Amino acid sequence: QSVLTQPPSVSGAPGQRVTISCIGSSSNIGAGYDVHWYQHLPGTAPKLLIHGNSNRPSGVPDRFSGSKSGTSASLAITGLQTEDEAVYYCQSYDSSLSPWVFGGGTKLTVL
């Protein structure tokens, strides 16, 4: 059972927009700690997608955006492409548990 809650799966057609939620609690996201997002293709290294809630590292397309409000955060992907099919994880800091906590992951399927 992951500390941060994500939907197991989302899907969308090419060109559409999808969002992935990451729900935390008062000891992590709700306490104001930042949320980071990773994209993971099977058999490869997870890749940093968003850091500090909404900041894209160099090279990450602006189709990916992040936001945070209250005890939850969201990753939005616009203009879906087939290469976006992956598992997406959120991560944050928790003041009462192991400092670094993750979501269970959301598998994105591009129909």
**How many Å apart are CA 29 and CA 69, to the nearest integer?**
8
Number of residues that bind other proteins (CB under 8 A): 26
Q: Which of residues 25-64 bind other proteins (CB under 8 A)?
A: 33-34, 36, 38, 43-48, 51-52, 57
Cα angle for residues 80, 47, 38 (degrees, 5° grid): 70
Residue type, 72: S
85: Cβ contacts below 8 Å, ≥ 6 apart: 108, 109, 110
> Candidates 13-21, 62-70, 73-81, 91-99 — which segment interacts with other proteins by CB under 8 A?
91-99
Binder to other proteins among 56, 65, 88, 93 (CB under 8 A)?
Answer: 93
Residue ranges in contact with other proteins by CB under 8 A:
2, 6, 33-34, 36, 38, 43-48, 51-52, 57, 89, 91, 93, 98-105
